[in-house]
Structure 1
Amino acid sequence: MKRDIERTKKLLLEAAEKLMTGCGDPTEVTSRAITEAAGVNLAMINYCFGSREKLLAEVFSQLLSRAAAADKRFAEVMSSELPPKDKLIELHIFMMSLMLKNIGIARAVTRYILLERDLQTGMESLPFVMAHYGGSKSEAECRLLTFQLTSLNELAFLKYEELKQYAGIDLTDGAQLRLLVTDNISRFLI
């Protein structure tokens, strides 16, 4: 039974990733489309993941893990002696770049993350924020700063086309992305 559930989860993850990476509009990738591609019953998404959005969040999490493992430069930066603020900048640039490269999945997941996720998840930046303050701020204050900073960058990603049109900031340009992330982090980490 447990093996069947794990197999079903794997099929759903693979189907969702394939559909999301091949679509132009994430709303096209419905629960029904995912389960049909996976060859499983429609109810299995909720049974295995709780919702379509949680399934897509897991797909993006796996993409992030694979990309981080494959990017030697990113791993070197994260394990280097750089100050925590610089590591935080690199982490956010890496994540936003990945989101821009996987726009279909990232759009669907980011809406879920901003509106539905609990505040205990998505705290990859927290250790860097805490290290930056070195105990001068409480963990609760650092969690709030992490949440605010992460949410601001996620919102910038969702609105990247409008940022380009109305503010002249093109997040697909590496230098402009770096500038935006650095400015945002500098505003929060004083």
Structure 2
Amino acid sequence: MNHSLDRETSRLNPALVWLVVVGIALVGLMAMSNTLLVELTASAPASVAQASLAPGTEGLLRQTAGHLSKMQGGASVGGFPGFEPPDDDKRYKDKIRNQSYSGEEANYWTKEINNFLSQIVKKNPGSTLQEILQRLGSTSAEIDDFIKALQQTYSTAESMEGYGVNEITVETLKSLLITLGVSL
């Protein structure tokens, strides 16, 4: 009987050794993957690792850029495509291209920009516009371009105050820009 026990033990031994080796290998792989995950997370930029863009923010930025573009002769703004009036409205196309809009139009577009910026502030409390655009993946040049367009819009609206642009519209834009960390 002792002889048959030795035979059973010899059959179990290779299987047992194989299980132990596979188990040790799996534990080692898990430890390596955890170390790699920690290293990747630690090396990621803080702004990307800590926060993502609030839902709907990209669309609001796109709409803001579209209205900024109208006041910039239809040029692209901050990496967003420029505003292109319909082909069948030559008068409107000329107005945008030549920047020959009225104070009332500037007031309306600025009020729309204020609306979009207000929603961006609500969706991204405590964030600057620069941080928001970074989360979107904008380059430094695109961020600078977007901010410059906002500053120019503020300057245009302020200079047209009393000539079709409402004082409250200008003050609202100023307040939103300050909240978003945009210098005037």
TM-score, length-scaled by structure 2: 0.28
Higher relative contact order (CA 8 A, sep 6+): 2
Larger C-alpha radius of gyration, 1 or 2? 2
Higher fraction of helix: 1
